Structure 1
Amino acid sequence: MADQEEPIERVVLMELEFLDSMGYKIFLCPFIGRTKKQMIGYVITYIIVTCVTTQLFLTFFQTGTSDWLELINIFPNFGVCVMTIIKYTKIQTHKQLYHDIFYHFRDDMWDIVSSKSETHCKAVKKYRKITMIINRFLLYYSIPLTIVVDSFPYVIMVYEHKVLGKELVHLYPFDGWYPFDKVKWYAVAYLWESFMTAVVICVYGFSNMIHASYIAFTCMELKILGNCLEELISPEDVINIKAGRNVEAIHSAAVKKLKIIIAKHEFLAKKSSALDAVLGDAMLLNYSLGAVFICLTAFTFTVVDSLYKSVRYFFMFTSLLVEIFNQCLIGQILSDHSEDLTESIYSSDWPYASPETKKILLMFMMRTQKPFELTGNGYIVMNMNTFSSICSTSYQFFNLLRTIYP
């Protein structure tokens, strides 16, 4: 039986190993028990990301409020850096939580998974495939994104100056403030901004990977728990109960299995709630500023007359939209899967269960009617309704700006 179950576990373990490998490269994995060298790497990464965030903050004061297009250029970059610091430090601060969830999916959840159950096998393979697609997309999207963001300003600068014959205007990946003449030291400034862009994208991308994976595996386990509830009393057990054979043993086994299911659900509920608390600051920030930034970047790339700025603001707009959509989508999926447990309880052959089992099922059903949620510090639930609300608000602002813009 161990030989049969190993392939089912292996497909998930491979993805966890991938996450561990990615996290190791940015000094976050292992979550607990890092070496002194890894902790030094973590501190250095934190310091340089904080430095570039401060640099963008000072850029705001240098720019002032006279050129609102430049402010729109600064704010999204500044927001991404702030979000990166929040996510990077949150994972470090709550490393015990991430460690517990990681090893739960690696070691603890498999006692409820049966290799003989076709439904279990399909669920494991399905959610591992979903997780793999998400993680590979984030990985392979990050590579060309870094290359484009780092090289595009230089390519456009050379093209406009050499090909179109325009006056040389120095362009940078995020055009920050420097305590020296950045035109004179153009190569230094450009290399610094290119390097920091790559660092921010790596940290941001991994944090999205780990959170999306944890949510996907949580949904996988909820799906398996739902299947276990539906099979709590099998058709064969029903036949035996009707015939009066092994009734006490069947009811005892059902109660034991049900208690295991409830314990697993309780663990997932606690960890999902803790993860919601960890992500709350970033989600609230996304919700609070998302509609404004989406509107401003969308409006700006339609009115500026510079090819470089149009393309730059367009990618800012799409990146903001994708990030908010991602958070709302995983929140919706998590809620939907936790709510499905109520239907699984109702779909089980509970009429043939013992009074004790029925009582436990009823209490468990009441608990499952409160779904798992991802929220912005409890103020707003991240789901597709929230995403629709953000898009609607952004569109209204966009139309307003188009109307009043001279």
Structure 2
Amino acid sequence: MAADSFNVTVILQLHNQLDLLGRNLRSLNDSISDMKSTSTETLPKHMQHSDGSRDIHSRLRMSVLHHQAIIRNVQLLEECLGGMLLGQSLSIGTSFCLQLFQAATRAKRVQELGKTCSYLVTAFSMLFIYCWFGDDLISESEKLAFSAYDAVTSLQACPAAIRRSLLLLMARAQRPLHLTAGGFFSLSRESFVAVLNASYSFFAILRNFKEEYDD
């Protein structure tokens, strides 16, 4: 439980970093608007946008480096957790299937059934937490692409180097960051439901075989 709590905390931290990066990109819109109004009113034509462009370019460079650091951390976390999450998903799904099969084919006391249900709820809650926060990570990563697109439309008057850097960030952000269970499936709420459905399907198959064998 301590290891799972730590892992979820790391996923939540990555989510917060993506949210911070998105806010920084959205703030570029306000900065470029202020730069246009200030330069038009107070600076001569040959100095317009020069200082503001350097500031925008510096902030954009920091945002690109921040995004690359987040990508590396997500990849590193997946390397550390991918195999463990795959094994956990398979073991939980198998346990769910077998426990349901035993409960359906054997007459058990209420106390034993209660223990079985408690075990299944505890096991699935661990996987559900990973999938819940993994889905939040995917959603925040998708929002980042929209934030970058909004910034692109506001920076059309900026130098080509600024636009090029932002376009590269937007292109990379269109591939949402996600954690996978050994590369087989992404950790999301849909994946959690899929594991439940697959476990129940195998339970139904085992029960049908048992009924045909008894007949």
TM-score calculated relative to the size of structure 1: 0.46
User: Quick check: 1:325 aligned with 2:123?
Assistant: no
Shift of 1:290: 3.0
Counterpart of 2:146 (choices 343, 362, 378) is 343
Shift of 1:236: 1.8
Give 1:223's aligned residue. 19
1: CA distance between counterparts of 2:89 and 2:74?
20
Give 1:315's aligned residue. 118
2: CA distance between counterparts of 1:304 and 1:327?
34
1: CA distance between counterparts of 2:103 and 2:36?
65
Amino acid at match of 1:342: A
2: CA distance between counterparts of 1:355 and 1:240?
21
Structure 2 unaligned residues grouped into runs of 5+:
none
Q: Greater CA deviation, 252-261 or 343-352?
A: 343-352
Give 1:208's aligned residue. 4
Shift of 1:345: 0.7
Give 1:295's aligned residue. 97
Return closer, same or farther for 1:210/1:244 CA change in 2, 3 Å cut-off.
Answer: same
Contact 1:304 1:310 in 2 (8 A): no
Contact 1:334 1:373 in 2 (8 A): yes
Return closer, same or farther for 1:253/1:311 CA change in 2, 3 Å cut-off.
Answer: same
Deviation sequence 1:288-325 (CA, Å, 0-9, x none): 33322222223434544223321111112112221221
User: Quick check: 1:265 aligned with 2:67?
Assistant: yes
2: CA distance between counterparts of 1:356 and 1:243?
25
Give 1:240's aligned residue. 38
SS at match of 1:380: coil
Contact 1:297 1:316 in 2 (8 A): no
Give 2:82's aligned residue. 280
Amino acid at match of 2:38: N
Amino acid at match of 2:166: L
Contact 2:82 2:182 in 1 (8 A): yes
Alignment of 1:6-405 (within 5 A): 205-234=1-30, 235-240=33-38, 245=43, 246-302=48-104, 303-348=106-151, 349-403=154-208, 404-405=210-211
Amino acid at match of 1:378: G
Contact 1:301 1:309 in 2 (8 A): no
Return closer, same or farther for 1:322/1:304 CA change in 2, 3 Å cut-off.
Answer: farther
2: CA distance between counterparts of 1:229 and 1:305?
59
Deviation sequence 1:103-144 (CA, Å, 0-9, x none): xxxxxxxxxxxxxxxxxxxxxxxxxxxxxxxxxxxxxxxxxx
2: CA distance between counterparts of 1:213 and 1:328?
13
Contact 1:241 1:352 in 2 (8 A): no
Q: How many residues align?
A: 202
Amino acid at match of 1:326: I
Which structure dedicates a bigger proportion of its chain to helix? Answer: 2
Give the % identical residues: 20
Shift of 1:388: 2.1
Shift of 1:285: 0.6
Shift of 1:241: 5.2
Contact 1:298 1:398 in 2 (8 A): yes
SS at match of 2:117: helix
Give 1:58's aligned residue. none
SS at match of 1:356: helix
Shift of 1:254: 0.5
Contact 1:240 1:247 in 2 (8 A): no
Shift of 1:371: 2.2
Shift of 1:390: 0.9
SS at match of 1:378: coil
Amino acid at match of 2:143: D
Shift of 1:229: 0.4
Return closer, same or farther for 1:244/1:344 CA change in 2, 3 Å cut-off.
Answer: farther
Amino acid at match of 1:221: Q
SS at match of 1:231: helix
Amino acid at match of 1:382: L
Structure 1 unaligned residues grouped into runs of 5+:
1-204
TM-score calculated relative to the size of structure 2: 0.84
SS at match of 1:351: coil
Amino acid at match of 2:150: S
